Every structure is written in structure tokens, then in C-alpha cells.
A and B are shown apart, each in its own frame.
Chain A
């Protein structure tokens, strides 16, 4: 089981993948669609080896960045999202 402070990695990726795709110009009368989104951020990971050898993955973005005497480990995640046709 991953630490409860972390999201399941699938939920984390799903949250990052939900975007409003339309850009509307309102009174100016233009409409656009976002074709591709690239995002990257530091991520804290919880990698837990279960009893059966399977690995549970949890992730959470850093909630704040403050210099502390013991710094959390920041891994990095980058996602490319494309329009689901």
C-alpha cells in the first residue's frame, strides 16, 4: 500500500491529463483547440515493493518548496498529451 499522502500514480496522471481543450475568444469571435500539451514538474514518488514482489506506485507534486534541513527527494515527470481523436 502506498502512503496515504500520495496519489496512485494512475490518478495522478489522470488528473494531469484533464484539460479544457477549447480556447474561445468570446466577443472577438475566434475559437481554437489545443493540439498538444507538454508538462513537466518535480514529483515525490512512493515506490513500495509489496509482499508478492509487485510494486505499488504513488506520486504527489511538491506542495511547497521551503529549504529544510532534510529535503524531500524530487524526481521528475514529463508528460506529452495529445488530442484523443
Chain B
């Protein structure tokens, strides 16, 4: 027996059990190449003698040791399921443009636990819940405040999608000079109107989307070099660029 008998949680136990089953199945599959008729594990049932313990947040189990009596009996049954059933019952993994709540340091563990309990594990999950007008404060017993959380998530999403400028050009029309910027992840918050300041004066943002931005600038403000354009793209992003020769 192991020298220490540390408590474990069911999720980690099941993960390990499934990995062990997979390993056994893979070995049997290799053997089946030379030995055509073999057996596969269709289902597995384990009955464990355990001591459950609830610490106020999570249930953990301690395996009964020799000589210990009064253990609870817990049964785990694993049955084989088809890939179609997996697709139907499994949530899609977090995608590249989504952010798992686990990696957002500003969200405390209690809030993360409360979110997980209501099935929210990523920013997209949270947005889906919000779209359905679910009162998060009620379902999480006032542990989750959506507005506060939403800001943290937007900030995290922004960190994941930093803005970049690839090209800057100037066009001249009857309305004046328009600075045209091309890049990536520029205006990603549609609810926010970007603000631009050119050489210290407010400049009008004519349009802004994720890949381009147009800013009307005052001709008198232009200098030969060291023109500075500062843009607030959303509440978490300020972008400063130096333009030496716009024309």
C-alpha cells in the first residue's frame, strides 16, 4: 500500500481510470493484429470502499485502509459509448478565440467554482448565458456579478487579441485629410466608440472595425515628423503610433 493515503477527487480518479482502460484497450488492439479473435472491455464496474469528506466546497474521498471499518461503498460503472453519443453529450472544447475562465487570474477561485457549478467554463459560455437573460446573481446565490465579471473577461479577451497596425496611409478629400490604418484586432468592442487624439488634439474617428480604421485629422496639426496618434480602441486598449511621413 502507499505510504500516504491522500484524499482524491472523483474527477481525477475517473480521468485516471479512463486512461488505464484506454491503455488496456490499446494493448489488446495491437494483440488483435496477430490474434484475430480477441475480447474488448464492454463495461467495467468498480465498487470502492471509501470515506467521503466534504470540506464545504468539494467532496473528496479517502481510500479505506486495512483494518478501517465503516467505509462507504461507492459504485462506478463505465460503459462503452459510441462516438455519436459522445458528440451529443459532450460540450465542445474551448476554441482558440475563446478564453477559459481558469486562466483569468483576476477572477477569484470562489467565483470560478460558482461559474463551473452552473456550467460556465469559458467566456463564450458566459455570453451564451447572458444572451438568454439568465440572472447570474440568482443562480449562483449572489456569488457572481455579471457586470464586474464581464469587464474582467473583456480585458482577458483583449489581452488575447492584441491590436497591431500593418499599414498607415493618408487620403485627401474635400472633407480634409483622413488617416487610414490597416491592421488586426483594432475595433473588437462594437459597443465602444473609439477615441483618437492627434498631436494632442481630439480627432474624429470616421470608421473603425477589426481590420481598419479611419481618422480625420486637422491639416494644421501636421508636423514634418514625430506626429503622434493615440487611440483608445476600447476601455482596455490604448494604442500609440508615431507617424513620420504621412504623405
A→B interface (CB under 8 Å): 2-3, 8-11, 13-14, 17-19, 21-22, 33, 36-37, 40, 45-49, 53-57, 70-84
Pair A33/B37 contact, Cβ less than 8 Å: yes
**What are some 7 contacts across the A-B interface (CB < 8 A)?**
A10-B21, A17-B38, A33-B37, A47-B8, A57-B17, A73-B71, A79-B43
- Whether a CB of chain A sits under 8 angstroms from the CB of B53 is no
Kindly identify which residue among B6, B13, B39, B49 contacts A21, using a CB–CB cutoff of 8 Å: B39
Given contacts A77-B46, A80-B43, A82-B39, contact A3 B17 (CB under 8 A): no
- When distances are taken between beta carbons in the complex, the residues of chain B under 8 Å from A37 are 39
Q: A10-B22, A21-B39 are in contact. List 10 more A-B contacts (CB 8 A).
A: A8-B23, A9-B17, A18-B28, A21-B37, A73-B64, A74-B49, A75-B47, A79-B41, A82-B40, A82-B42
- Whether a CB of chain A sits under 8 angstroms from the CB of B95 is no
Docked pose: A76 CA to B13 CA in angstroms: 16
- When distances are taken between beta carbons in the complex, the residues of chain A under 8 Å from B40 are 17, 81-84
- When distances are taken between beta carbons in the complex, the residues of chain A under 8 Å from B45 are 40, 76-79
Interface of B is mostly: mixed
Docked pose: A45 CA to B7 CA in angstroms: 14
- Whether a CB of chain A sits under 8 angstroms from the CB of B20 is yes
Interface residues on B, range: 35 or more
Pair A17/B39 contact, Cβ less than 8 Å: yes
Pair B1/A84 contact, Cβ less than 8 Å: no
- When distances are taken between beta carbons in the complex, the residues of chain A under 8 Å from B38 are 17-18, 21, 84
Pair B42/A80 contact, Cβ less than 8 Å: yes
- Whether a CB of chain A sits under 8 angstroms from the CB of B63 is yes
Kindly identify which residue among A14, A47, A53 contacts B27, using a CB–CB cutoff of 8 Å: A14
Pair B12/A57 contact, Cβ less than 8 Å: no
